[in-house]
């Protein structure tokens, strides 16, 4: 044993001298390494390709479904950095952190590189010919009724090919699944306004009241809304807009609001009706049936039900009355309950009473090519698929752009139901939880190697078709684009129609060029039209504003009373959708794991966010590992105390807790999807994401939370760096 | 025992650092030549034939006709094979020469020729061709071969290029410390940048 030997002090001395030695000797001429490396050279190249100078190519971001235009900087044949495409009206040249991490999806070391066929519990590499032959054989051997496609949001020519394939089979089983989507709001909008997603003109509004819509962080099209928000805050002329955020757990948008109101979970609809009542009392003209419907929602009662003080309700009503037009948005916090549809309807009614429909809630444009319009998804689709699988109705399942084994709550029993499907084909980038269950895994090109057209759900101006084009050569020869795979599958079914197309690129080009008149290229020859489309990255289409022909019936609107107390599971669980993690599909990109959550600054882990008062009651301090148990399951994570949350609520971010997928995602945090309770929206049948009741208990361990925030818990240690006043000292009507 | 170990480690450190410092200090600011190693290339490219003086049988082609990126980019670059072929497809007289046959083999296969770097600075150094060419060739009006030759030597007399100068920091500084006229007509002069971060990444 070394005793009294080379201790720390001596170690440091030697380290110091060694360091000085290296520093003094420096890096001499020896580093001029003549003749070791190759010069970048080309056989043929375009004039604009200059070594060491980046060239930008336009494409479309694939990190979420908002469809922002991107420009990739390409140097010496490699994509280095992404920027926003200024020509896309969705993001106008801007980009978010999630989008920036797109290069890590492309260069990711965990990508699958060749088709894998299940052999026992292993995947065996096979050729594409064999994989496609196998698909042909399996699909051919079953009743077309038993073939099902599960996808995420699809649009553009990939959707057209997919529909043609289903058509060729004679089966219509296409389940579009989005784990985190405003599907109840879509249904409610459809009813109230006649369109699923109206255009929200935040820049025209003077007040925005958002019921839990995190439009600056993760809701629908955050980069677009952030720019609208900037104009709303600082209009060219007129007053600075006022944002009031009503939610039970503070989101990034809530943190930016002038007034953040912590509301008792699920009572958003009551507050909306209460506001109508107050507005009517203050003299805003409302129709008789509306007045009758909201008559009993007096300020006192609403205050008691929602936990929002009568004073704040009065101020908010005064603000809304004074400043018109305003905009009221129903977000995920309002729709995530069994009565989510009613909440959303009440909020839509508030918009109508305020006269916002047609002013700030505007009609979107019609889509000239409905077969390419986006198919948006919901959780009901997965529920139906899961039921069909349980009843042995699915013999061949294709899965693309979704990871249902990870995102489905445990009560779905999706993994067991999947086992009943004899042949499961998963199109995947990584060996994620769903790919692990597959019989055949088909490796996809990254979004930076692929061809596609996309039509986003939320388009800022007119209609548009986004182009996705390769920014560099494929990293691995064994991957294929989803369009190429679908085309190959279609060739098996409809050879006469599709054999002429060598690959998806030639199909896409010919499909676009043959429709160039409708795509704004009537005056151009084929090549010019195609080159123009590629260089712009966006094809702007002419569409007429659709008619907003919704109807709102105040009489039919019933918003239930607040939740009853639950002695066993006293707390509400809010599964939080963070700007970086979303539903967890990008969890294997280390930049996203590493970028701190905007509110808690935590990195590389899940956490249980709770109010300091609640924590004190339970004897929990920051860093305690706690168990969050619902009727459907339990997870463990570190506790984080945060005042921006209702005391009856705990919140766990989604997207963490992967059991597979890759080295950066696997084993990081816990999966909040798994413990959600089987509660569904009454009208749409959507999974009510915010309905889960939980109890929180200490699990015994305590850890140091890894976060950017200082060790003093974000306090300023008496240094008056950012001055603040308590929220109850702010007079909303004067301040804002 | 351990104090002996400590002492020896410290002594070794001292000796090595002093020695290496001596080497550094002895390195003069020099324009002297320092011939680099012979670099084996896929095939021999006769710089003398292309750029050499007409009297010596050369064609006097401007360096930047082929190294076209030098005036526009950090790197001078190697021309794409299409540029070689652009001329050589019309030069029947040497079409069957072994080097030209090699060239057309690459061209027919549409493959880039894997040239090796002859002047390869360490990765922490940034050398910008564009700045030097713009200053010496375009502002001062120096002949191209002279300007390129400051660092690359008399390439027009070589076949395969070979490093002629040390390309060390002291050597760079020897020129950056001189007064250079700011353009062809002015009598004003300036020196090359002296900031660390101009060249060091």
Give the residue from chain A lying closest to B41, CA to CA. Answer: A35
Size of interface A-B (CB pairs under 8 A): 135
A59 in the same domain as A117: no
A311 in the same domain as A246: yes
A533 in the same domain as A411: no
A354 in the same domain as A211: yes
Q: Do A471 and A534 meet the contact criterion of CB atoms below 8 Å apart?
A: no
Q: Is the pLDDT of residue B112 over 70?
A: yes
Q: Do B193 and B84 meet the contact criterion of CB atoms below 8 Å apart?
A: no
Chain B 55-74, residues with CB within 8 Å of chain A CB atoms: 69, 72-74
Task: Look at A13 and B119 and tell me if their CB atoms are within 8 Å.
Answer: no
Q: Kindly list the residues from chain B whose CB atom is less than 8 angstroms away from the CB atom of residue A25.
A: 16-17, 19-21, 23-24
Q: What is the pLDDT of residues A486-498, one digit of tens each?
A: 999 999 999 999 9
Q: What is the pLDDT of residues A708-722, one digit of tens each?
A: 876 555 566 666 776
Task: Look at B10 and A45 and tell me if their CB atoms are within 8 Å.
Answer: no
Nearest Cα neighbor of A198 from A395, A338, A364, A355 is: A364
Q: Which of B73, B111, B117 sits opposite A34 (nearest CB)?
A: B117
A486 in the same domain as A472: no
B39 touches chain A (CB under 8 A): yes
Chain B 75-134, residues with CB within 8 Å of chain A CB atoms: 75, 77-82, 106-107, 110-124
* Cα gap A478→A115, rounded to integer Å: 7
Q: Kindly list the residues from chain A whose CB atom is less than 8 angstroms away from the CB atom of residue B112.
A: 41-43
In the beta sheet, which residues pair with residue A428? Answer: A443
What lies within 8 Å, CB to CB, of B48 at 6+ separation is B56, B58, B156, B157, B158, B159
Q: Which of B6, B106, B117 sits opposite A39 (nearest CB)?
A: B117
Does residue A486 form part of some domain? yes
Q: Do A155 and A456 meet the contact criterion of CB atoms below 8 Å apart?
A: yes
Does residue A723 form part of some domain? no
The pair phi, psi for residue B59, each rounded to 5°, is -105, -5
SS3 A191: helix
* Cα gap B120→A39, rounded to integer Å: 10
Q: Kindly list the residues from chain A whose CB atom is less than 8 angstroms away from the CB atom of residue B16.
A: 21, 25
CA distance A162 to chain B (A): 36
For chain A, the domain total comes to 4
Task: Look at B2 and A53 and tell me if their CB atoms are within 8 Å.
Answer: no
- Token readout for B187 is 């009598």
Does residue A550 form part of some domain? no
Q: Which of B19, B112, B118 sits opposite A35 (nearest CB)?
A: B118
Q: Do A251 and A245 meet the contact criterion of CB atoms below 8 Å apart?
A: yes
Q: Which of A25, A34, A41 sits opposite B78 (nearest CB)?
A: A41
Q: Which of A25, A31, A33 sits opposite B20 (nearest CB)?
A: A25
Does residue A464 form part of some domain? yes
Q: Kindly list the residues from chain A whose CB atom is less than 8 angstroms away from the CB atom of residue B82.
A: 42-45
A278 in the same domain as A161: no
What is the pLDDT, as a whole number, of residue A10? 63
A281 in the same domain as A238: yes
Q: Kindly list the residues from chain B whose CB atom is less than 8 angstroms away from the CB atom of residue A39.
A: 77-78, 115-117
Does residue A719 form part of some domain? no
SS3 A631: coil
Q: Kindly list the residues from chain A whose CB atom is less than 8 angstroms away from the CB atom of residue B14.
A: 17
A394 in the same domain as A354: no
* Cα gap B153→B147, rounded to integer Å: 10
Q: What is the pLDDT of residues A123-152, one digit of tens each?
A: 999 999 999 999 999 999 999 999 999 999
CA distance A48 to chain B (A): 11
A595 in the same domain as A487: no
- Residue A389: how many CB atoms within 10 A of its CB? 23
Alpha helix stretches (DSSP H) within A370-464: 379-390, 404-407, 414-419, 433-436
Residue given tokens 């083999």 in the structure block: B105
Q: What is the ipTM of this complex?
A: 0.75
What is the pLDDT, as a whole number, of residue A543? 79
Q: Is the pLDDT of residue A624 over 50?
A: yes
The end-to-end CA distance of chain A, in Å, is 71
What per-residue string of b and e applies to A509-534 under the rule 16 or more CB within 10 Å gives b? bebbbeebeebbbeebeeeebbeebb
* Cα gap A731→A315, rounded to integer Å: 9
- Token readout for A619 is 């004897």
Q: What is the pLDDT of residues A47-68, one digit of tens each?
A: 888 888 899 999 999 999 999 9
Does residue A654 form part of some domain? yes
Domain range summary for chain B, segments of one domain joined by +: 47-78+115-166
pLDDT band at A46 (very low <50, low <70, confident <90, very high): confident
Summary mean pLDDT of chain A: 89
In the beta sheet, which residues pair with residue A441? Answer: A116, A426
What is the pLDDT, as a whole number, of residue A549? 81
Indicate which CATH number applies to the domain containing A80.
2.20.25.90
What is the pLDDT, as a whole number, of residue A548? 83
Indicate which CATH number applies to the domain containing A123.
3.40.50.740
* Cα gap A638→A631, rounded to integer Å: 20
pLDDT band at B28 (very low <50, low <70, confident <90, very high): very low
Task: Look at A34 and B118 and tell me if their CB atoms are within 8 Å.
Answer: yes
Q: Is the pLDDT of residue B10 over 60?
A: no
A216 in the same domain as A251: yes
Task: Look at A32 and B36 and tell me if their CB atoms are within 8 Å.
Answer: yes
A244 in the same domain as A332: yes
B20 touches chain A (CB under 8 A): yes
Q: Do A260 and A245 meet the contact criterion of CB atoms below 8 Å apart?
A: yes
Interface probe with B: pick from A23, A29, A49, most Cβ of B within 10 Å: A29
Range of the domain at A627: 571-702
CA distance B25 to chain A (A): 11
Mean pLDDT along residues A206-234: 94
Give the 3-state secondary structure percentages of chain A, helix then strand then coil, rounded to 5: 35, 20, 45
Does residue A711 form part of some domain? no
A580 in the same domain as A643: yes
Does residue A503 form part of some domain? no
Indicate which CATH number applies to the domain containing A625.
2.40.40.20
Q: What is the pLDDT of residues A12-23, one digit of tens each?
A: 665 666 555 555
Element (H, E) at A695: strand A693-702
Q: What share of chain A in percent tops pLDDT 70? A: 92
């Amino acid at each position: 044993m070394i005793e009294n030997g080379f201790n720390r002090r001596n170690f440091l001395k030697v380290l110091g001298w060694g360091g000085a030695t290296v520093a003094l000797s420096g890096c001499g001429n020896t580093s001029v390494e003549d003749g070791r490396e190759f010069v970048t050279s080309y056989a043929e190249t375009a004039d604009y390709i200059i070594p060491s100078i980046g060239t930008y190519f336009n494409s479309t971001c694939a990190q979420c479904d908002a469809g922002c235009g991107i420009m990739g900087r390409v140097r010496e044949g490699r994509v280095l950095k992404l920027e926003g495409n200024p020509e896309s009206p969705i993001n106008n040249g801007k980009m978010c952190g999630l989008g920036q991490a797109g290069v890590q999806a492309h260069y990711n070391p965990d990508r699958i590189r060749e088709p894998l066929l299940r052999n026992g519990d292993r995947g065996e590499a096979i050729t594409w010919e064999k994989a496609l032959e196998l698909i042909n054989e399996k699909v051919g051997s079953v009743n077309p009724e038993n073939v099902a496609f599960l996808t995420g949001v699809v649009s553009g020519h990939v959707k057209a090919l997919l529909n043609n394939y289903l058509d060729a089979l004679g089966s219509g089983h296409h389940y579009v699944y989005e784990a985190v989507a405003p599907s109840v709001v879509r249904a409610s909008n459809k009813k109230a306004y006649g369109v699923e997603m109206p255009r929200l003109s935040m820049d025209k509004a003077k007040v925005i009241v958002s019921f839990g819509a995190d439009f600056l962080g993760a809701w629908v099209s955050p980069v677009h809304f952030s720019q609208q928000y900037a104009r709303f805050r600082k209009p060219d002329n007129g007053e600075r807009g006022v944002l009031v955020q009503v939610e039970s757990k503070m989101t990034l948008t809530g943190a930016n609001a002038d007034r953040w109101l912590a509301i008792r979970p699920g009572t958003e609809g009551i507050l909306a009706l209460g506001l109508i009542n107050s507005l009517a009392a203050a003299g805003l003209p409302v129709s008789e049936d509306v007045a009758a419907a909201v008559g009993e929602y007096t300020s006192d009662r609403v205050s008691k039900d929602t936990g929002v003080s009568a004073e704040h309700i009065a101020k908010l009503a005064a603000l809304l009355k004074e400043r018109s037009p305003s905009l009221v948005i129903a977000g995920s916090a309002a729709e995530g309950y069994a009565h989510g549809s009613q909440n959303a309807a009440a909020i839509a009614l508030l918009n109508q009473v305020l006269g916002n429909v047609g002013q700030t809630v505007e009609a979107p444009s019609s889509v000239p090519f409905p077969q390419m319009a986006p198919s948006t998804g919901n959780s009901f689709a997965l529920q139906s698929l899961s039921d069909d699988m349980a009843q042995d109705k699915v013999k061949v399942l294709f899965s693309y752009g979704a990871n249902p084994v990870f995102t489905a709550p445990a009560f779905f029993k999706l993994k067991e139901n999947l086992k009943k499907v004899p042949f499961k084909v998963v199109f995947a980038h990584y060996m994620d939880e769903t790919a692990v269950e597959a019989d055949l895994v088909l490796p996809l090109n990254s979004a930076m190697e692929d061809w596609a057209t996309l039509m986003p759900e939320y388009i800022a101006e007119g209609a548009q078709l986004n182009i996705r084009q390769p920014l560099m050569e494929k990293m691995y020869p064994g991957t294929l684009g989803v369009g190429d795979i679908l085309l190959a599958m279609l060739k098996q079914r409809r050879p006469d129609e599709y054999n002429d197309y060598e690959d998806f690129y030639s199909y896409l080009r010919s499909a676009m060029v043959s429709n160039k008149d409708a795509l704004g290229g009537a005056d151009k020859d084929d090549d010019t039209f195609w080159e123009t489309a590629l260089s712009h990255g966006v094809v702007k289409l002419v569409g007429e504003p659709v008619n907003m022909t919704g109807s709102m019936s105040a009489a039919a609107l019933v918003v239930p009373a607040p939740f009853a107390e639950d002695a066993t599971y006293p707390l509400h669980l809010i599964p939080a959708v963070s700007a970086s993690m979303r539903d967890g599909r990008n969890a294997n990109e280390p930049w996203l794991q590493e970028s701190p959550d905007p509110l808690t600054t935590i990195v590389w882990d899940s956490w249980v966010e709770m109010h300091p008062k609640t924590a004190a009651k339970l004897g929990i301090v920051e860093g305690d590992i706690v168990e969050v148990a619902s009727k459907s399951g339990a997870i463990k994570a570190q506790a984080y105390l945060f005042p921006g949350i209702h005391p009856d609520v705990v919140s766990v971010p989604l997207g963490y807790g992967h059991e597979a997928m890759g080295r950066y995602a696997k084993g990081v945090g816990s999966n909040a999807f798994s413990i959600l309770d089987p509660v569904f929206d009454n009208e749409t049948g959507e999974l009510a994401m915010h309905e889960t009741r939980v109890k929180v208990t200490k699990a015994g361990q305590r850890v140091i939370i890894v976060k950017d925030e200082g060790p003093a818990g974000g306090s300023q240690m008496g240094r008056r760096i950012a001055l603040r006043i308590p929220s109850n000292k702010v007079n909303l009507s004067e301040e804002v | 025992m351990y104090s002996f170990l400590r002492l020896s480690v410290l002594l070794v450190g001292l000796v090595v650092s002093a020695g290496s410092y001596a080497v550094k200090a002895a390195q003069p600011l020099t324009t002297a030549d320092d011939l680099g190693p012979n670099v084996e290339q896929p095939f021999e490219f006769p710089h003398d034939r292309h750029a050499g003086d007409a009297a010596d049988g050369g064609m006097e082609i401007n360096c930047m006709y082929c190294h076209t990126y030098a005036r526009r980019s950090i790197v001078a670059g190697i021309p794409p094979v299409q540029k070689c072929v652009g001329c050589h497809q019309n030069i029947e007289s040497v079409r069957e020469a072994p080097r030209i046959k090699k060239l057309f083999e690459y061209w027919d296969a549409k493959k880039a020729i894997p040239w090796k770097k002859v002047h390869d600075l360490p990765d922490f150094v940034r050398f910008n061709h564009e700045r030097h060419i713009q200053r010496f060739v375009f502002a001062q009006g120096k002949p191209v071969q002279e300007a390129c030759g400051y660092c690359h030597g008399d390439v027009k007399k070589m076949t395969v290029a070979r490093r002629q100068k040390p390309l060390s920091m002291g050597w760079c500084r020897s020129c950056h410390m001189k007064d250079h006229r700011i353009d062809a007509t002015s009598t004003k002069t300036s020196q090359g940048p002296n900031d660390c971060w101009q060249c060091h990444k």
